[in-house]
Structure 1
Amino acid sequence: MKYYIIIGSSSQSENESEEFYMKELMIFEGHEVEVLELKGQVLFNPYHVGMCLDLSESAVKMAISKMNSKQAIKLTNFKVKDIDFRRLHNTGENFLTESGVYKLVFKSRKPNAEKFTDWIADEVLPAIRKTGSYEMPKKKQSSEDRTEIMMMNARSRMAQTYMKLAQVDTLSSTYKNVLVSKASEVLAGEPIIPLPAIEQKKAYSAKDIGIMFGISANKVGRIANQHRLKTAPFGEYRRDKSQHSAHECDTWVYFDTVIPEFERILGIEVA
């Protein structure tokens, strides 16, 4: 089964268009992706993107159902009648915007999903926006072109850093969702995955708990480990600056819910 990247104009003859499509066929790791530019907006076939990301057709459909109009657009034959494009299904077909592509990327568990975002940001979009096709411009890049590409590369690297942090096992699910949301915002240039609602809870360090009960912070940690108190809902890991270096580290903080547990274990009541 072949998927073609459809690029061209209505002024081309049928034979010229077919030859042009074959010449401009773009492949990501063996998968051909259908892309078109309509009224200045680059749109992607969601199921071809899904194949690149190892997502099933049902997973892609589910993701599209949760996207807004800035992320997924339904095209009909009437909307594409003025461009040289294949005939669409009678009821129309959904296509992804750049934001929609990035949102779909975050649904993938494929190890090299980041490589796909690099391909989109570094090769596909700059080429289409400069020339209307995937053929890179022959002329020397202007300083503005180079600056734009450098900025896109920087956004991609920053988003990758957020996503790598989100894979840290010790982080709370809330913190992971925050990092994923920020990564998508950096890539797309706008918020596309809402930040989770964060309940503000008072947090205590092991030293704080130790002061309450007249014991050392180390003993607090030992008791917490012995009685499995370093679990929700007694606290969570948070990213904080290390006391011994300039690096950040994951530090466990306790919530009010842990105090009655220490009172029970130590036989001491605190005010």
Structure 2
Amino acid sequence: MTETHAPVVTYMGRSVAVRTNETVLNALLRAGIEVPFSCKAGSCQTCLLKCLEGELPERTQRGLSETLRAKSYFMPCRCKPAGDMQLAPVNADDLLAEKASAAPTESEIPYPETDPALWMELQQDGDKVRKILEAFYDMVYADEQLAPFFENVQKEHVTDKQYVFMKRCLLGEKVYFGNRPRNAHHWMIISDELMDHRQALMLKSLRANGLTQDQIDRWVRFEEHFRGDIVKQETWPKRMGGQDIVFEGVGQEVFPIALICDYCHAEIPAGTTVVVHHRRGLVSCPACASGAPLT
């Protein structure tokens, strides 16, 4: 039997064997290599890298300018390599136009004016608020552009949090204690176009659940109220107690309890040194972090 060669990507002096159906970006992150990223679906172009050697599938450059494509820039979040690749970080001199920085505001957008009547209307025939959110997140988790933002996050958990958040918005009751939209989305590069796409899915759910146009307009008011805290061209630091808190990068930590590797799902004995991706909270066991092929 012929042994299949796993493609190897080399970046910043590290070589990583890419696993079956794994993207270049996920392989680098698994190995604990710091690479900028956000949407992981090719929408934000944050993870842009330069290919020095190797074949670039067409979809990895889709949406890039002619200049960037000609200089072999590509999106590793879209690349499942067919062979070995030599990669390099972005050279600022290659970028002819800089992205305009969207400076974060000093404070979060306050909650909007409540609409308790809408909440009551949506409770008259069962709990339509929950039904709306369940149908919406079913679509989000199946959506190529939005699903990567929720990697390793249970759909039921997200639905429950959004349900309580909407209850806080509509009724004004202090029942939500999670992050407000600015902090919850601080690391996500979300354009107006992507936000519009997200809103289109919400409209589908609202209509499918039988809301009148008046009820839809009132619901959408809450959705659009926080757009300024969500749409951005660069990541923002998390802001807590008036201070900017940065949750980025990777590091090595020793945990006193046994863990499960988020990549190969093998058990990691207590006391093992593991690689932790701080933003996502994911853990790589020593084998996955080494970049070696699976045995």
Pair in the same fold by TM > 0.5:
no
Higher RCO (C-alpha under 8 Å, 6+ residues apart)? 2
TM-score (norm 1): 0.22
TM-score (norm 2): 0.20
Find the structure with the greater CA-based Rg.
Answer: 1
